[in-house]
Amino acid sequence: MIANAVMGLLPKPHVRPVAGAVRFRGRDLLKETEAALQAIRGKDIGMIFQEPMTALNPVMTIERQIVEVFDAHAVLDKSERKSKVLELLSDVGLPDPELLRRSYPFRLSGGQRQRVMIAMALALRPEVLIADEPTTALDVTTQAQILSLICRLQSERDMGIMFVTHDFGIVSDIADRVAVMQLGKLVEVGRAADVLRNPQHDYTRRLLSAVPAFVPKARPAAHRGRLLSIARLDMTYRGKHGLFTKGRTVEAAKEVSLDVRKGETLGLVGESGSGKSTIGRCIVRLLEPSGGSIRLGDIDISRMRGKQLHPIRKRVQMIFQDPYASLNPRRKVGRIISEGPMAHGVSEAEATARTIELLELVGLGRAALHRYAHEFSGGQRQRIGIARALALDPELLVADEPLSALDVSVQAQILELLASIKERLHLAMLFITHDLRVAAQICDRIAVMQRGRIVEHGDTADVFTNPTHPYTRELIGAVSGLALPSTVVAGQESTLAADAL
């Protein structure tokens, strides 16, 4: 929000700064006219957005989009522009700029698009760069690359950067000074090292303690019976084919073999697109695998259909990623949770009693029963989602990135809730996540996935302290702020990280 205010990008006339000043080289930007702001935007202050997928115009080539920046500020002639575009693209570390400048955005990956965005922001050599959560939408490994790119460009060009993020790992990696915001107020400002090591404000302390430590907890090795075993599972998506065209096929999972024992948590980690969610969805049988077997106890559920699956549904439940999309907006919370047991023949009164019990268990209380999902915050909604999953007393929970849509401080609470529930109800859990810190906290064993294959699996402590596969090593190396909070990387003078939660 602050970042947008500086750039004069607030949605007028509903939102406008009511007081205060934004000073840039002695001029107050809030008082400047739209025309004057246009001259400053891009030229003196550059901006990178959160969502590289939507920040580029899909129907323009990369070159056109960068040239537009020059057009807007009427600088450079035609031939200079072309060479400048090539120079910028190679500056931000994109391969084959000559080919790339003629491409359309859809050909580029998220990381590449973010590089293009950075190239555009840097085209006119701004003195200040505002980066609004530039890596939130990216994978961990890509995030690490983009961060190091931003740091390199900063030192080359001597820029000031205002880096808006919710991730303290990033803060400890790149920031010189930190400003912590809570509910629109600046609660703490200081040198990154000081703030991270010795936070003054209560809120900062809460945020910092919510960052899961990247140290796997020691766990007693449980040798209990197998609950779920997956053998050589294949999943190939087939695109729709027409009369004359062949459908596109995507192999999302190839020969995946996994075991989940009773009462243990198995973490499935990997980048997005690695096939983690596909495995999860095959287990709860939202998808039918194209090959291999999924045995729950002694029953192979991979080929079951329709009514056959009904008794299985009770035993395997799922917690979904997006608490905003996973609850029916037109039903009361009580109904959302009790529908499951009622579908399995439990009477309404009994289901409601169970629902109240569950709401207490997840820390919401019976008052939630008669309210709609939109009346709750993201964290509370995820609690409702957990209660719904528990309503059928499952033996196995599949949690598909249950934390990734939540704020850090809320993440810690939900993680704690999951751990305590697992403990109390002796559940087995398949925990799908891209966040290695979270995996280290909750998982007994870890399986690492890359491009549809499991490349490494073993006890959490072993995998993290002694990774054997190069991809696992790369993933672990990419975890930002690994050493937080004992050592803090010292960066350049003018970086400022604002934590806008």
Q: Which residues contribute to the site for other proteins (CB under 8 A)?
A: 284, 286, 309-310, 313-314, 316-318, 320-322, 325-331, 336, 339-340, 343-344, 372, 385, 388, 391-392
Give the residue among 362, 366, 378, 368 at the shortest CA–CA distance from 417.
362
Give the single-character DSSP code of 392: T
Cα-to-chain-centroid distance, residue 1: 20
Burial grade of 166 (CB within 10 A; 0-12, 13-18, 19 or more): middle
Q: What is the DSSP string of 310-367?
A: HHHHHHEEEE-S-TTTSS-TTSBHHHHHHHHHHHTT--HHHHHHHHHHHHHHTT--GG
In three-state secondary structure terms, 419 is helix
Of 21 and 343, nearer to other proteins (C-beta) is: 343
| φ and ψ of 255, to 5 deg | 45, 55
In three-state secondary structure terms, 295 is strand
Please tell me the distance from the alpha carbon of residue 190 to that of residue 178, in angstroms, as a whole number: 6
| φ and ψ of 123, to 5 deg | -50, -40
Q: Contact, 463 vs 448, CB < 8 A?
A: yes
Cα-to-chain-centroid distance, residue 21: 34
- Using the structure block, give the residue that is written with the tokens 């209660």: 387
* Token code pair at residue 270: 């990997």
